[in-house]
């Protein structure tokens, strides 16, 4: 779908053109949760999970994000295909969504949170031929169902994609459409940069901007006159202010191996794996050798190409800092030898290494030997 066509389709097409079922579904209030269902405590933080990986949808279990359940499954023939955009596009969408939620206790992630966590999931992928840009199963007044599934079409523009994601997630948090071109809850994408605005806007039914009373007035009227909604205040009320990121990432250099030797000419990459509860994000990445800064960049990955570095001993440290200043680092030492150097042959493999499967060995012992063989050499 082109961006121009999408301008009209953020929420839903006018009822005359749109799938009538979809129109109705998007504007219905959520049914009350069953008695005894665990309620969300007001002001407690939550997660928004942007699922780029697609899913086989389940039915008969409401809209539970943990199990990929959706009452809209039939609209998508039970399946949402993965988003085909590259890492840069995913990161752009993630950053745009994160930016609009920065003031609220909502963590935006692209990996599924642990099972005991509440999260709204927006499936961002191939929805098949549709007349809408995004759809939510209902308006969940007060977020009484804390883990809902909704859907967004896979736009490559981060501005467009993020607005669709935010609007569908917001429906599952109890926000309705408003006539406000600067607000994320405007029923179609506008030329403006849209955000959750701290103003009371008139609630509307559809893209014709027909005003209606609203379905979630118990919440709306905490902040506005009847028939109006303040998306900013409601999100703050539901999830509280933003929560500092206190969890440091971890970093492990994967290559080169510690103690490696190269003979010129030699081009190789220094690559490290980052793990983080808020991965991916943009880190400040620095590379030093013997304490001297060689490079500093902002990136979501650690990958430096070293092309014919001068001969010598290297002692490199990679350090990453996340947006909140949490730090991780790892170190690798290696040697670059002048062209023509003959390196000694690598030591013979321990011949016992070939007998690992011998039945006489006990499993625990086997595992230990395997570990010794597999473990990369590290500094003491
Ligand atoms: Zn909508």
CATH number at residue 173: 3.40.390
Over 90: is that where the pLDDT of 354 sits? Answer: no
What would the mean pLDDT of 202-228 be, rounded to a whole number? 91
Q: In whole angstroms, what is the distance from residue 67 CA to residue 59 CA?
A: 10
Q: How far is the CA of 187 from the centre of ligand 1 (A)?
A: 5
Residues 227 and 258 occupy one common structural domain:
no
Q: In whole angstroms, what is the distance from residue 69 CA to residue 64 CA?
A: 5
**Domains of the chain: total:** 2
Question: How confident is the model over 96-150, as pLDDT tens digits?
Answer: 999 999 999 999 999 999 999 999 999 999 999 988 899 999 999 999 999 999 9
Identify whether 265 is part of a domain: yes
Task: Indicate whether this model's pTM tops 0.85.
Answer: no
CATH number at residue 274: 2.60.40.10
Residues 167 and 273 occupy one common structural domain:
no
Q: How far is the CA of 326 from the centre of ligand 1 (A)?
A: 36
Q: How far is the CA of 190 from the centre of ligand 1 (A)?
A: 13
Q: How far is the CA of 281 from the centre of ligand 1 (A)?
A: 27
Q: How far is the CA of 10 from the centre of ligand 1 (A)?
A: 7
Q: How far is the CA of 66 from the centre of ligand 1 (A)?
A: 22
Question: How confident is the model over 51-103, as pLDDT tens digits?
Answer: 999 999 999 999 999 999 999 999 999 999 999 999 899 999 999 999 999 99
Q: How far is the CA of 167 from the centre of ligand 1 (A)?
A: 6
Domain of residue 64: give its range: 3-239
Identify whether 200 is part of a domain: yes
Which of 239, 264, 291 is the last residue in one of the domains? 239
Q: How far is the CA of 125 from the centre of ligand 1 (A)?
A: 17
Identify whether 380 is part of a domain: no
Q: How far is the CA of 291 from the centre of ligand 1 (A)?
A: 53
Identify whether 41 is part of a domain: yes
Q: How far is the CA of 344 from the centre of ligand 1 (A)?
A: 67
Residues 96 and 183 occupy one common structural domain:
yes
Over 80: is that where the pLDDT of 15 sits? Answer: no
Identify whether 244 is part of a domain: no
Give the phi and the psi of residue 263 in degrees, each rounded to 5.
-115, 130
Which of 219, 239, 259 is the last residue in one of the domains? 239
Q: Which two tokens stand for residue 219?
A: 């919440």
What would the mean pLDDT of 147-160 be, rounded to a whole number? 94
Q: How far is the CA of 205 from the centre of ligand 1 (A)?
A: 10
Q: How far is the CA of 58 from the centre of ligand 1 (A)?
A: 23
Over 90: is that where the pLDDT of 377 sits? Answer: no
Residues 286 and 196 occupy one common structural domain:
no
Residues 190 and 260 occupy one common structural domain:
no
Q: How far is the CA of 138 from the centre of ligand 1 (A)?
A: 9
Identify whether 379 is part of a domain: no
Residues 267 and 199 occupy one common structural domain:
no
Residues 152 and 94 occupy one common structural domain:
yes
Which of 212, 239, 266 is the last residue in one of the domains? 239
Residues 53 and 202 occupy one common structural domain:
yes
Residues 336 and 258 occupy one common structural domain:
yes
Residues 269 and 202 occupy one common structural domain:
no
Residues 61 and 205 occupy one common structural domain:
yes
Percent of the chain whose pLDDT exceeds 70: 84
Q: How far is the CA of 47 from the centre of ligand 1 (A)?
A: 20
Q: How far is the CA of 74 from the centre of ligand 1 (A)?
A: 19
Q: How far is the CA of 132 from the centre of ligand 1 (A)?
A: 9
What would the mean pLDDT of 317-335 be, rounded to a whole number? 96
pLDDT given at position 16 = 31
Residues 228 and 108 occupy one common structural domain:
yes
Identify whether 40 is part of a domain: yes
């Amino acid at each position: 779908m082109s961006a121009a066509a999408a301008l009209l389709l953020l929420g839903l097409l006018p009822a005359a053109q749109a799938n009538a079922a979809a129109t109705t579904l998007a504007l219905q209030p959520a049914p009350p949760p069953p008695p005894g269902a665990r309620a969300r405590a007001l002001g407690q933080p939550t997660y928004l999970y942007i699922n780029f990986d697609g899913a086989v949808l389940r039915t008969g279990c409401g809209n539970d994000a943990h199990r990929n359940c959706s009452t809209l499954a039939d609209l998508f023939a039970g399946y949402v295909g993965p988003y085909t955009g590259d890492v840069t596009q995913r990161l752009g969408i993630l950053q745009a969504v994160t930016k609009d939620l920065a003031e609220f206790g909502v963590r935006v992630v692209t990996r599924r949170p642990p099972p005991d966590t509440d999260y709204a999931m927006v499936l961002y992928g191939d929805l098949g031929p549709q007349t809408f840009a995004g759809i939510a199963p209902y308006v969940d007044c007060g977020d009484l169902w804390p883990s809902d599934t909704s859907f967004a079409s896979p736009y490559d523009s981060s501005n467009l994609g993020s607005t669709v994601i935010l609007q569908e997630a917001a429906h599952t948090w109890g926000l309705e459409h408003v006539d406000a071109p600067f607000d994320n809850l405007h029923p179609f994408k506008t030329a403006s940069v849209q955000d959750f605005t701290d103003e009371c806007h008139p609630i509307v039914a559809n893209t014709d901007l027909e005003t209606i009373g609203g379905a979630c007035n118990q919440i709306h009227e905490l902040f506005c006159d009847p028939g109006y909604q303040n998306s900013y205040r409601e999100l703050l009320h539901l999830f509280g202010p933003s929560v500092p990121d206190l969890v440091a990432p971890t970093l492990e250099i994967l290559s080169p191996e510690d103690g490696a030797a190269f003979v010129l000419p030699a081009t190789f990459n220094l690559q490290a794996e980052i793990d983080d509860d808020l991965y991916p994000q943009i880190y400040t990445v620095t590379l030093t050798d013997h304490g001297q800064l060689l490079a500093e960049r902002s990136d979501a990955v650690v990958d430096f190409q070293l092309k014919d570095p001068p001969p010598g001993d290297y002692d490199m440290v990679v350090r990453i800092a996340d947006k909140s200043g949490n730090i991780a680092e790892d170190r690798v030492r290696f040697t670059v030898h002048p062209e023509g150097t003959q390196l000694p042959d690598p030591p013979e493999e321990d011949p016992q290494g070939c007998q690992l499967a011998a039945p006489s060995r006990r499993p625990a012992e086997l595992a230990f030997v395997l570990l010794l063989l597999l473990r990369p050499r590290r500094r003491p």
